[in-house]
Structure formats: structure tokens, C-alpha cells
Amino acid sequence: MKDTDIKRLLYTHLLCIFSIILSVFIPSFFLENFSILETHLTWLCICSGFVTAINLVLYLVVKPNASSKRSSLSHKVTRFLKCCIYFLMSCFTFHIVFVLYGAPLIELVLETFLFAVILSTFTTIPCLCLLGPNLKAWLRVFSRNGVTSIWENSLQITTISSFAGAWLGALPIPLDWERPWQITIERKCTCRSVYVPCMGLGTITQ
């Protein structure tokens, strides 16, 4: 049983990676001048949609936490609406955290919010798919020694890694001052300011 779960888990992660790759190439066939760097906001929306769709399909097919009880249609609808509310709350919570860590409050609101959406896609969506809108189960999985299956262990690792990646991903940004993907907020004489999200650095000046 454990070997089967490991194989299913491996295929799940590979398909998620494949969905990210598809979100890079497929839109170019339908959208003119599509590029990750030039149309990065559009790509963030598409990537979030691809990853969310793949997660939903995979967990519906694999059903790692399948329940023997049959639930009514009203229960399923209520559960789905709760998941949507939890996802939106996650997006707004991350957005507020990013602002508290130095993101502009008024400027670049869309960029900050989409960053919150993509982070919620890699953290909250898998939790909702595996555990549902059950806060007690969330607290159990992310507490010390609260994992009871390989799926929950993977969920714990991938969620923490996503947060760590979002944090560490801002480290090399100040090293690429002249690159076109850098967002310049203020340019006065020889002073330049670059928006660095989620590091607590706010605006870095060189």
C-alpha cells in the first residue's frame, strides 16, 4: 500500500510540474506577444489556473483521503463554497502580509495580489484538496508529529518549501538592477529603488 501511495504521489507531483510547463508554452498559441517576462501578470493567472485544475482532477481521481460515508449534494456544495472562501481568505491574508513586509500599499496592487494568488495556489489549494475546509486537520498536519500518512507528509513539505521559496526568491533581485524584469519604483539621478516582495526589505536603494 505504501509503495502504491509513493507512486501515486510521484505521478501527482510530476503532473503538477508538467502543468507549470504547459502554462508557459500553451498560451503562446492563443495570445499574441505572450511572454513570461513581458506579460508576467497574465502568466501568473494562467499558471494558477493550470495548477489548480490539475490538483482538483488528481485528487478527485486518486482520492488519498476517501471517506466511506456518502455525503449529500447540499453537503458537497457547502464544502465547495467553504473551500472557495478559504482560498480567497488565504489570498487576502498573504496580500496583507506582503504589504506588512514592505510591498507598496497603493502602487503595484495587482502584482502583489497575483503573487498572493500564486502562493495560495501552491500552499492552500493542496491543503483544501487533501484535508478539505477542516482547520483542525490543518493544525494537526502542520503541528509537530501530527502527520499520519505519506500524503500529509508530502503536503507538509511542499507547503513549507513554497513559503521558503517565496522568501528566498527575493534574495537575488537586488543583484539584477539593469534587467528588464526589475520593477523600478523611483528613479532620481543615480538613486534607484526596486520593489522586493516578502523579504521584509521593502524598497532597496542603491
Average pLDDT over residues 19-48: 86
Residue 162 has pLDDT above 70, yes or no: yes
Residue 187 clears pLDDT 60, i.e. is over it? no
Q: What pTM did the predictor assign? A: 0.77
SS (H, E, C) 11-74: HHHHHHHHHHHHHHHHHHHCCCCCCCCCCHHHHHHHHHHHHHHHHHHHHHHHCCCCCCCCCCHH
Q: Summarize pLDDT for 56-94 with one digit per residue, the tens.
A: 888 888 777 656 566 778 888 898 999 999 999 999 999
The pLDDT tens digits for 104-113 are 888 889 988 9
* Selected residue with higher pLDDT from 129 and 147: 129
For 176-185, what is the mean pLDDT? 55
